[in-house]
């Protein structure tokens, strides 16, 4: 492929990505603020953020957890956030000996407490293990937020607050999800750890 054709392709992808981001934040900026407020209130009351998803969404879960537990860009106190995608011994034990559908729900049982917030990330909103984890969170009186796409899927009707990216392409949805994650982390950091 010629360099000029590559450049056209890059421009086209970038334009779609920017358009999806613009549309989401125009339509759903208030919901992003609500999500940040839910997490801020939970942490202030002694709760924590439990984050989970599959594949690229698992990577986003780990990324968001590290931004909070360590820092976004300045020195400050650590904030309680945990990705449920990192303990390979536990993930493989649950998947092998029980059922992969419960890989996150079981961790919520073990680590979650009333007053925590579960942040479910799924581009389709239909991942069975994400759905089971949301159900478990509700049974334990743990609040839930969904970073979703493609109409929100089943998860949109289960979470307390659904942030649905209005697009069907997984990469474009994930690009918006990480921007949402960064914005929420910044709002939390500014509110709970002011300069």
Mean pLDDT of the chain: 96
Residues 61-77 have pLDDT tens digits of 999 999 999 998 789 99
CA 1 to centroid of chain Cα atoms = 36
Q: What is the pLDDT of residue 72?
A: 85
- CATH code, domain carrying 100: 3.40.50.10490
How many residues in total does the chain contain? 195
The answer, yes or no, to whether residue 49 has pLDDT greater than 80, is yes
Domain count across the chain: 1
Containing structural domain, residue 157: 3-192
Contacts of 54 (CB under 8 A, 6+ apart): 122, 127, 129, 130
- Residue pair 181/60 in contact by the 8 Å Cβ criterion: yes
Residues 86-97 have pLDDT tens digits of 999 999 999 999
Residues 126-167 have pLDDT tens digits of 999 999 999 999 999 999 999 999 999 999 999 999 999 999
Residues forming a β-bridge with 120: 52, 146
Global pTM value: 0.96
């Amino acid at each position: 492929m010629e360099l000029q054709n590559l450049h056209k392709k890059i421009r086209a992808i970038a334009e779609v990505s920017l358009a999806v981001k613009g549309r989401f934040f125009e339509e759903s900026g208030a919901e992003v603020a609500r999500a940040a407020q839910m997490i801020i209130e939970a942490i202030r009351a002694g709760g924590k953020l439990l984050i989970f998803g599959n594949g690229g969404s698992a990577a986003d879960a780990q990324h968001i957890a590290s931004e909070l537990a360590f820092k976004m860009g300045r020195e400050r106190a650590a904030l309680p956030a945990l990705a449920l995608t990192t303990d390979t011994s536990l993930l493989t034990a649950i998947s092998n000996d029980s059922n992969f559908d419960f890989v996150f729900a079981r961790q919520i049982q073990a680590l979650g407490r009333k007053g925590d917030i579960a942040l479910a990330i799924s581009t389709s909103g239909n991942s069975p293990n994400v759905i089971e984890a949301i159900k478990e969170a509700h049974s334990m009186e743990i609040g839930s937020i969904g970073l979703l796409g493609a109409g929100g899927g089943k998860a949109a009707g289960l979470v307390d607050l659904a942030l649905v990216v209005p697009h069907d392409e997984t990469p474009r949805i994930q690009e918006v999800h990480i921007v949402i994650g960064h914005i929420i982390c910044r709002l939390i950091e500014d509110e709970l750890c002011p300069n």
